[in-house]
Chain A
Amino acid sequence: MMSQKHAIVMNEKDNTATAVEAIDAGTAVVVSVAGQDLAVAVKHKIPFGHKFALRAIEPGGPVIKYGETIGYATKPIAGGEHVHVHNLESGRGRGDK
């Protein structure tokens, strides 16, 4: 199983997974969440180290990794979408707001 690992979910509360190898668009990825397998159809090419959504996240909704909020969605994010600075914004240190 280990050799097939494409992505890691750090905490069962997470709504994102982190790719531990580059994943092509259209790949069906199986991740382990608290010991349970979860299948996600990855919609975009995900570079090594980048994230994709495990399920839909609504605009303004928290993006969760390590069981903690790492920022907020700036637009609707569907399960399997690449999650990064184009659709996630930080809630901290925002002197511009």
Chain B
Amino acid sequence: MTEQDILVRLVEDSEMQACNLFHNKLYKKSRSFEQWQWEFKSNLYNSSSVPFAVAVNQGQIVGTQALIPIRMIDRTGVYWTAKSEETLVDPQFRGNKLFERMYTVLFNYAKEHNYVNIWGFTPAAKAFTRLDFSISARTEQLFIPFSQKAISMLLAKGTSGTQSTIKRSLRNIVAHAGGRIAQSVAAFKISMQRRVKLTGLKLENICDPTDETAEVCQRFIDRWGGRTIYRDSNYFKWRFFTNPYVRSNIAGIFFEKELLGWVAFSLGDDGMGYLIDLMVNGDESRISTESLVRELLLEAVIRTRNMGAYGIRSWHVNEHPFDRIVTRVAKKVGFFHIKRGHAFVLYDCDGGSSRSAADNFNEWYITRAFTQGLHG
């Protein structure tokens, strides 16, 4: 078998079920076809073809690489980017440059469709750097344990198979002791928080997509600069309200019926609470941004705890001014900052224009909404 025996191209409708089965077989998962379709086919770009590359050998799927089109916004307007997803090559077919070949198909697709850049999160950044992706930063965690189970889960995710039993046991004992202290400190800090009391200010669930979210997004960028996902009603509908995995709860903060911001949170299938998204744009003369952020963080913390979460996790990614505020307030509310996460990789499709260049990564405002939505 030579490299050329393996066909690399965009997926055809008749192969979509097989792509999902390929993923399920390799990862031992039970993702439904409906979930596959939501993730890759029902995207917001409305293109006739799906940016999902496949490697096919004798009619069998042996590799996949996908892009999820995501619309972003900066001060110059709204533009399209794509999230890299579903990087998978059958172990038997490694060494055939399938990853590179699939990405060649997708780079062409991105160019044709005017995507400004391609980005993603990966534990295997090396493969991406070979394709001229740059590693811009790593995600970091903001974390509150509500119970000891949260510590066990965190440890399980970070356990390396090469560690000796003694070393692992010692690490567990220390982590659990630290976890107990963290739990108590966080519980104390949460109980000490006083909710903002301002006539006209109230929290309400957002249960349907609304155009107001796009306005908040626009004002957010006007104020804080940089770039972030354009969270209009279509995005909310797709990303949150029709998410076939877990639908986030979204608490909006309103001042006299005007939406100032929101927090999206969920309970993942693993029992952990996740702070998925947080965005605020208020009028400092009425109430400070910090106060609004604190209100929303507390709402997410208390409600995920009431949902039975073992803990709650959020992201701190870079030095975007709003991300810095969120991190600062989160620590006051009881979150702990853990420097562990995945690499953020970025590829410029338009030849390094200021909009997409990797060296201004601190201008990106990133939340867990940038993930593909498995946890909400």
Report if A and B associate in a common complex.
no
- Report which A residues bind B (CB closer than 8 A): none
